[in-house]
Amino acid sequence: MDRTRCSFWCVYAKSAIPDAFKLGSQTVDTHHPALENLPDVRGYATSDLFERHPTRADLFRIIGRADDVIIMANGEKAVPGPMEDIITANRNVSGAVMFGRERNQVGVIVEPSMSCRVDVKDEVELARFRNLIWDSVQEANEQAPAFARIYKEMIIVTGSERPMIRAAKGTIIKKPTVLMYQPDIDALYDAVEASSSAAADISPPTSWTTESLIPWLRMQATALSDKEIDVGTDLFDQGFDSLNATFLRHRIVAILKTNPAAAKAVEQNLIYAHPTIVSLAAAISSLISAGSVTAADPKAEIEAMIQKYSVGLDRGSVRNAKKAPADGDVVLITGSTGGLGSHLLAVLVGAASVRQIYAFNRHSPRASSSERQREAFRDRGFNEALLASEKIVYLEGSTWEENLGLGRDIYEQLCCSVSVIIHNAWTLDFNKSLVSFEPHIRGTRNLVDLAIGSGNARFLFTSSIASAKSWDPKLGPFPEEVQLDASIAVGNGYGEGKYVSERIIHASGLDATSFRIGQVCGSQSNGAWATTDWVPALVKSSIALRCLPSDPDGTNAWISPEAVAESIVELALRVEPPPFSINLVHPHAVSWDSVMNWIAQMLDLPLVSFENWVAALEKSAIGAGAAEFERIPALKLIDFFKSAETAGQFSTTKAQCLDSMRNLPQISPEEAKKWLSYWRGKGYLPAE
């Protein structure tokens, strides 16, 4: 049992609920609980659940009781306490009790306040009341996992003749209250089941023209995201996520049921390929009239994006080689709160030749940059004392805005002082198309302009081997040189966007390096590996599918974040001009099946062919709802896995000239064990 001692007699034991802890009192010489109920040591465990403070590791707050936890049909566990508290805080609500035990969706019973009584037989009044409290329900949903979100149709409102059952002191007694409303709950689930899906009752547009489809699609997208949608703006820039995209696709397929051929032709990535309402409407109209969506020329789109953001750049211009200021380098790093970004910041803080570090990140309403940085360091097992360094200056802005979204004075200060720019901030999403990465590409150009304006800033870009997605392996290992043929990048928007940025940087003539980074694995220290990456999604999904994918011919050149960060900083601080392109993949690859076998043995799972694994994944996608997407996250990446190929070979001649790459050891079973331990500790994988 994982225990975190918070004093010499209280222990917060990690529970089976993600990010939740139980309180226990351990028997020691100076403290003896009156009762003892722990199985492995002497002491007493309460049924109270706590969560850790996001920035103060020694502080916890109570969020509910273990016996209140709702265990759903798929085994996922929802903690109702925090969500109920948020809903009850609404002045129109006097009580809230969630339900959903052994069901695929959760719901909530809500008791209106005395000043807001509702005639539950009047549908208009019920709808008005649900709208009145919906902002609070949405607030509760924001802090809940996807499988525990409450939909508007899953709200039961109590009538005055059946108030919630309360104890003498006024607190709600949950189990009897749920039991009293069990017939209503059963009827609600029957109604949901009868409709089979939200898409079943949706009326189609008046016609299949682009003009008729635009308002229909806007209405569906607005309903799914609970916010007004602009038809000309990228949906994902307006808060759409992979679940919203999946459900919107379901609704599109549902209205095409009278045209089976068209419905079958709707690709999994339709929303990602056409991420605005206007472009999506045109694609669907084309599908109906022509039987297929008019295919764009991906190479031409890449070249057009390069041309758009290279205007005014002149590679032939004479640029001064990097000259470190006499009192040390001033480094601007973007994306420092992420996985690789945290490693880069830690190395930079320890570099004696670095005088100042501008840690540039996007604003977040959740916490300040410094708080998020501290949380990221703690998550990766770094020494948090490093963040007390006077070198670090936190900046918040957006790279794609004018002056990076900073005040003019601060921007001019950067122009006058920065000697190194490490551009690391980039959204990892293999579903999005190139057009959805345009803000990132615009951000790259803005940073290039900053480097040019500074007169001598060295520019380092964390690119990806995905930028060489279509390289022909018959031509040999992918070289450490700039590639001017855009066709090599065609494959997915993520890699295409990285390639476009490489070309823009190359066109600038700056003293620059583009690092084509391979798959970065978990940290060598504690196995920290972001659960948003595709490998954790594969492992978690494999537990649900009861098998792991095998690829006897595949190789694995995963590389640690420590090696990547040290390589980038080493080259950033060198005096001599760097090569423009370096491939940062592990120079000593192991077989794919070696890694899968290590994980299979630890999880007691069999290996099946990659094709059979993908087939099992596709089968589980049929009728999948929010709970299934939480349990099998690879469902969000079906197209990625269907087209997945083992990464080709990459030349590492220049990379191996770097100290941190020269004698890099192969990854081992011990590292894989750390990854699994980290994911379990985050509640992402079930406990052993």
3-state DSSP percent of the chain in helix, strand and coil, to 5: 45, 15, 40
Contacts of 677 (CB under 8 A, 6+ apart): 527
pLDDT > 90: what percent of the chain? 45
How many degrees, rounded to 5, is the angle at CA 580 between CA 578 and CA 582? 90
**pLDDT the model gives residue 16:** 46
From residue 386, alpha-carbon distances to 351, 378, 381, 382 in Å are: 12, 11, 12, 8
Q: CA quadruple 650, 656, 661, 663: dihedral positive or negative? A: positive
* CA distances (Å), origin 384, targets 114, 561, 613: 50, 18, 41
Q: List, for residues 227-238, the tens digit of each pLDDT value.
A: 899 999 999 888
Contacts of 441 (CB under 8 A, 6+ apart): 305, 309, 497, 500, 501, 504
Question: Residues near 34 by Cβ (< 8 Å), separated by ≥ 6?
Answer: 44
First to last CA, the chain: 10
HSE-CB at 408 with a 13 A cutoff on CA atoms is: 0
As beta bridge partners, residue 157 has 110
Cβ atoms of residues 226 and 244 within 8 Å:
no
Q: Which residues of 353-384 are buried (b: 16+ CB within 10 A; e: fewer)?
A: ebbbbbbbbeeeeeeebebbbbbbbbbbebee
Please tell me the number of Cα atoms within 13 Å of 410 on its side-chain side. Answer: 14
Dist CA 241 CA 631 (whole Å)? 17
Least confident stretch, 110-119, 234-243, 299-308, 480-489: 234-243
Going by the DSSP 8-state scheme, the letter that residue 73 receives in this structure is: T
Is the Cβ–Cβ distance between 213 and 279 less than 8 Å? no
> What is d(CA 232, CA 204) in angstroms, rounded to the nearest whole number?
21
What count of Cα atoms within 13 Å lies in the side-chain half-sphere of residue 58? Answer: 3
On the question of pLDDT at 683 being above 80, the answer is: yes
* pLDDT for position 180: 93
- Name the least confident of 53-62, 584-593, 616-625: 53-62
* Type of residue found at 507: A
Residues 589, 652: Cα–Cα separation, whole Å: 12
Alpha-carbon gap, residue 129 to 117, rounded angstroms: 9
pLDDT greater than 50 at residue 121: yes
Does 73 score more than 80 pLDDT? no
Q: Please list the alpha-helical segments (H only) found in 311-437.
A: 339-350, 369-379, 408-417
Q: Give the model's pLDDT for residue 17.
A: 47
pLDDT of 12 > 70? The answer is no
Residue 376: pLDDT over 60:
yes
CA dist., res. 146 & res. 141, Å (int): 8
Residue 1 has pLDDT above 70, yes or no: no
pLDDT in tens, 393-407: 999 999 999 999 999
Phi, psi of 289 (to 5 degrees): -80, -35
pLDDT in tens, 528-537: 999 989 999 9
Half-sphere CA count of 610, side-chain side, radius 13 A: 17
Strand 155-157 versus strand 107-112 pairing type: parallel
Residue 463 tokens read as: 């690119």
Which residues 6+ apart lie within 8 Å of 499 measured at CB? 302, 463, 467, 468, 486, 488, 489
pLDDT > 70: what percent of the chain? 86
Contact present, 507 and 490 (Cβ < 8 Å):
no
Nearest in space to 397 (alpha carbons), one of 405, 389, 409, 385: 405
267 pLDDT above the threshold of 90: no
Ranges 48-62, 539-553, 647-661: which has the least confidence = 48-62
Q: What are 421's two structure tokens?
A: 């720019």
For residue 600, what pLDDT band results from cuts at 50, 70 and 90? Answer: very high
pLDDT tens profile 311-356: 988 876 655 556 667 789 999 999 999 999 999 999 999 999 999 9
Quick one: DSSP state of residue 294?
Answer: P
Average pLDDT, the chain: 85
Q: What is the distance between the alpha carbons of residues 137 and 139, in angstroms, rounded to a whole number?
A: 5
Q: List residues bridging with 392 in a β-sheet.
A: 357
Q: What is the mean pLDDT of residues 277-295?
A: 80
Question: Please, how many CA atoms are within 13 Å of residue 595, restricted to the half-sphere of its CB?
Answer: 23
pLDDT mean over 164-176 = 88
**Model-level pTM greater than 0.85?**
no
Distance CA 118, CA 116 (A): 6
- How confident is the model over 293-306, as a mean pLDDT? 83
